[in-house]
Structure 1
C-alpha cells in the first residue's frame, strides 16, 4: 500500500514538472512570436533613420546655406508638435513613466513625429543626437503592439522595455548595452532582471535587422597599448570625477535653460526659432561648424568628429563648445537625443585630460566616451558593457571604474527626469520610495535661497 502511494506521489511530481516545463515553453514561444517581429520592425526603422541622418548631414555639407533655415525648420517642427504632438512631447520620459505606471500607453504618432523632427534638426544643423529617436521609435511601436495584443500591465511593461532595448541596440550597434540600458535606465540603483531575456532578444534582433539593411556603425579603436595596472585604474577613477561633474552640468544646464525658455516664451513653436538663431550666432562667434549635428561626420578633412579625439592632437576646449551648442539646441525644443553629443563631449574631455594624467589620448577618449554618458544617464552597467562592445575587453577595468565613479559623482541628477530613485547614491532624508529626479530638482529649487 505504501509503495503504491509513493508511486502515486511520484507520478504527481513528474506530471507537475512536465506541466510546468510545458507552460514555460509555451510562454517562451508566445513571447518570441511577439518580440522577434517587433524588434525586426524597430531595427528596420532605425536603419531607415540612420540612413536618413547620413543623407541629410551630407546634404547640409553640400549646401552650407541650409544652416540659415534652422529657425524656420525649428518653427515647423515646433508647430507640428503643438498641433499634433502635445501628448508625446515627454519623449523618453513619457516611455519611462508608462513603464512605471502603465496608463494610456505611448501614442503611435510618437514614431513618425520624432523621426521627422530629428531629421529636420540635423538637416539644418542643430546639435543633437539620435538615441532619443531610436528609443521613442521602439517604445511607440512596442506600445502599439501591446494594445493590439491586449497585453496586461506587466506584459506591457516588459514590451516597452524590449522596445527601448531594440532601438538602443540597433542605433548604436551595441545589443548587450542596449539590453542592459533598458533594464537599468528606469530607476537609480535597481535593475529589472525580470525583463532580462526579452530585452536581450529584442536588442539582438533589432541590431541584426539594422545591419541586414546594410547600415554600418562608426568604429572607434584604441591603438595604444599601455598596461592596465593600479596606476591607470586610479587615473581613470580620478578622471571619472570630471566626467561625472560635466555630465551633471550638461543635464542641469539643459533642464534649466529649457525651463527658462518655457517660462519666457509660452508659445512652443517660437522656442526653436530663438534656439536656431542662437545656434547660428554661436557658429559666427566661434568661427566653426564643427559642433553642429551628430559629430560623427565632418564637412572637411580637418573638421572635428568624435574620431578626432582618439588621435594624438590635443583639443582642450572642444568638450565645452559641444556642450554649449547641444544645450542650446535641445533646450529650445529641437528633436533628437543627448547620447551621441555626450559621446562627443566625453571623448573630447578625455582627450583634454589625457596629457594631464600622462595617458595616451585614445585610452582616455574611450573612457570619457562612455563614462560621461554613464554619469548623465545614471546607467553605469550599460555604459561599461558599451565600452567593452566598442573598444574590446582589454581596458574593461578602467572603463568600468570611470563609469561607476562618474555615476556616483553626478548625484541625483540626470538627463531622464522620470527616472526613479530606488536606492539613493547617498543617504538622504524625506525621500519617497517612488521619488523621481524631477521631484528632486523641484525640492532643490525650493530649498535654494532666493536673492
Structure 2
C-alpha cells in the first residue's frame, strides 16, 4: 500500500512538472524575445546619447511625454513592479498586457535623453505582463496565475542580466522579507533558464566582469584556518557600508516621490522639474558619466561599472553618491527604468573606494559592492550571493555571502519595492 501511494505521489509530481513546463516555456520564449529587443534598443539609444550629449536638454520634455503616455494608456501600469507583486500577494484586477509596451517605450525615452535609470524594472514588468496575459487567455485559476506571474519575474530578470539561477531565486525571495515560497521553485527555474537561452539566441551579449584576485590561504596568523581572516574582517565592515548606502538610496527615492507629489501640484511638472535637476547636476558634477546605465563610459577615463573593477581607473571617492542622487531624482520624479543597474554602479564604485581605503583587492571589493548594495536595497541576500557566483565565479563565494548578508541586515526594513511584505523581522 505504501509503495503504491509513493508511486502515485511521484506520478503526480511528474504530471505537475510536465504541466508547468508546458505553461512556462511560452512565457520564457515571449519574455526572452522582448527582453532581447529591449536590450538591443537600449544599446542603440545609449550610443546615440553618448554621441549627441545635447540630447540631455530634451529630458524635461521627455518627462512630459512619459507622463502623458502613462496618463493615456497606463491605468495601474504606473505602479510597475509593485503592481505585479501586489497581484501575487492578493489577486485583484490583474496585470495589464499594455504594461509591457508602455514600460519598454518609456524606459527607452528615459535613456535616450539621459535619465539615470536601469533595466531590471522594465524586464520584470515585461515578464509579469506577458505572464498575466497568457494566464488570462488560458483561463487559469488565480493560484496558477500567481505562480505564472512569478515565472514572468524570473524570466525577465534572468534574461536581462544573463543570470538564470539568480532570476529564479530572486522571484521567490523578493516578494517578502524573511520568507521564500517554494511552490514556484521549478516553474521559476524553467522560465529563467529558457528566457536566458532565448535572449542570447537573438545575439544579445551580456557584459562580462572579472575578479582576478586570488586568495592566499597562508595570509593568516592561524595556520589551521584556511581563510584570510583580516580580509574577511574588511569584507564585514564594507558590508555595513553597503547596507547603509542601500538604506540611503531606498529612503531618498521614496522621499523624493512623496515630496514631489506634495509640493508640485501639477503632475506633469514633476518629471519636468526632475529633468531640469538632472541637467543642473550634470554641470555641477562636471561630467555626464552619471547618466544612463553607467555600465560603460564614453572614454577610458569615464566612471563606470566596468572601470570600478580596475585599480588604476580614475574614480572619485564620491562617485557612488553622485550616481545615487542622479538615480533617485530620475526615478523619484517619474521617469521609467529599473533601479538595479544603478545599484550595481553605486556598489561597485563604493567598493572601489573602500578597497583603496582598506588596502584591499579593488576588483574583489568592486564585485562585493556590486551585489551587496543590490542585496540590501531589494532584501534578497541569497539571490545576490548566487548572482556573484554566476557573474564572477565561485572562488570568492564566502565573501559574496558575508557582504550580502551583512548589507541585508544593515539596510533596515525598507527597500525599493513598496509592495514587498515584511514577514520576518531582521532582528527579534
Specify the alignment match of 1:200 in structure 2: 189
Rounded Cα–Cα distance in structure 2 between residues aligned with 1:303 and 1:368: 19
Q: Tell me which residue corresponds to 1:245.
A: 244
Rounded to whole Å, the distance in 2 between the matches of 1:270 and 1:405 is: 40
Measure the CA separation in 1 of the matches of 2:20 and 2:364: 41
How far 1:14 sits from its partner (Å)? Answer: 5.7
Q: Deviations over 1:152-186 (max 9, x none)?
A: 12111111111000000000001111111000000
- 1:80 counterpart (62, 65, 69): 69
**Alignment deviations for residues 46-87 of structure 1 (CA, whole Å, 9 cap, x no partner):** 000000000000011122211111111111011111222131
Is the Cα contact below 8 Å between 1:79 and 1:268 reproduced in 2?
no
Given the alignment of the two structures, is residue 277 of structure 1 paired with residue 276 of structure 2, yes or no?
yes
Deviates more, 1:125-134 or 1:77-86: 77-86
Deviation digits for residues 191-230 of structure 1, max 9, x if unmatched? Answer: 1111111111111001111110010011110112233422
1:405 corresponding residue in structure 2: 406
- Tell me, in whole angstroms, the C-alpha distance in 2 between the residues paired with 1:260 and 1:350: 31
Deviation at 1:295, TM superposition (A): 0.2
Query: Structure 1, residues 318-368: CA drift from partner, whole Å, max 9, x if none?
Result: 101111111111111000010000000000000000022210111100000
* Alignment gaps of 5+ in structure 1: 1-9, 428-451
- Cα deviation for residue 271 of structure 1 reads 1.1
- Would you say the 8 A contact 1:46–1:167 is kept in 2? yes
Q: Which residue of 1 aligns with 2:392?
A: 391
Q: Is the 8 A contact 1:133 1:337 kept in 2?
A: yes
What secondary structure, in the 3-state scheme, does the structure 2 residue paired with 1:299 have? coil
Task: Give, in angstroms, the shift of residue 26 of structure 1.
Answer: 2.6
Q: What is the CA–CA distance in structure 1 between the aligned matches of 2:425 and 2:192, rounded to whole Å?
A: 28
SS in 2 for 1:89: helix
Whole-angstrom distance in 1 between the partners of 2:297 and 2:238: 28
Q: In the alignment, what sits opposite 1:6? A: none
Q: 1:273 deviation in Å?
A: 0.8
Match of 1:193, SS?
A: coil
Superposition deviation, residue 22 in structure 1: 3.5
Residue 124 (structure 2) aligned to one of 120, 128, 135? 135
Alignment match, 2:299: 300
Unaligned runs of 5+ in 2: 217-226
SS at match of 1:194: coil
Q: What secondary structure, in the 3-state scheme, does the structure 1 residue paired with 2:290 have?
A: coil
Number of positions where the alignment pairs a residue of Structure 1 with one of Structure 2: 416
Q: Which residue of 2 aligns with 1:39?
A: 28
Structure 1 stretches (4+) deviating beyond 6 angstroms? none
How far apart are 1:17 and its partner, in Å? 4.6
Task: Give me the TM-score of the superposition, normalised by structure 1.
Answer: 0.90
Q: CA deviation at 1:18?
A: 4.5
Which region of structure 1 is more displaced relative to structure 2, 297-306 or 380-389? 297-306
Bigger Rg, which one: 1
8 Å CA contact 1:70, 1:276 repeated in 2: yes
Contact 1:309 1:315 in 2 (8 A): no
Question: Displacement, 1:255?
Answer: 0.2
Structure 2 distance, partners of 1:22, 1:397, is 38
Q: Distance in 2 between matches of 1:409 and 1:392?
A: 26
Q: Answer whether contact 1:232 1:398 (CA < 8 A) is retained.
A: no
CA distance in 1, matches of 2:316, 2:52: 27
Q: Deviations over 1:114-142 (max 9, x none)?
A: 00010000000000000000000000011
What is aligned with 1:64?
Answer: 53
User: 1:342: which partner in 2?
Assistant: 343
8 Å contact 2:159–2:196 — kept in the other structure?
Answer: yes
Question: Following the alignment from structure 2 to structure 1, what is the Cα–Cα distance between the partners of residues 309 and 370?
Answer: 10
> What is the Cα-based RMSD across aligned positions, in Å?
1.3
- Paired with 1:255 and 1:23, the residues of 2 have a C-alpha distance of 46
CA drift of 1:16 comes to 4.6
Match of 1:414 in 2: 415
- Work out the CA distance in 1 between the residues paired with 2:138 and 2:9: 24
SS in 1 for 2:79: coil
The DSSP-based 3-state class of the residue aligned with 2:296 is coil
Are the aligned partners of 1:106 and 1:143 in contact in 2 as well (CA < 8 Å)? yes
* TM-score calculated relative to the size of structure 2: 0.95
Q: Shift of the alpha carbon at 1:265?
A: 2.0
Displacement of 1:33? 1.1
Contact 1:44 1:209 in 2 (8 A): yes
Give SS of 1:209's match.
helix
CA contact (8 A) 1:93 1:416 kept: yes
Matches within 5 A, 1:8-23: 10=1, 16-23=5-12
Who is 2:363 aligned against? 362
Question: What is aligned with 1:148?
Answer: 137
1:95-244 equivalences under 5 Å are: 95-227=84-216, 228-244=227-243
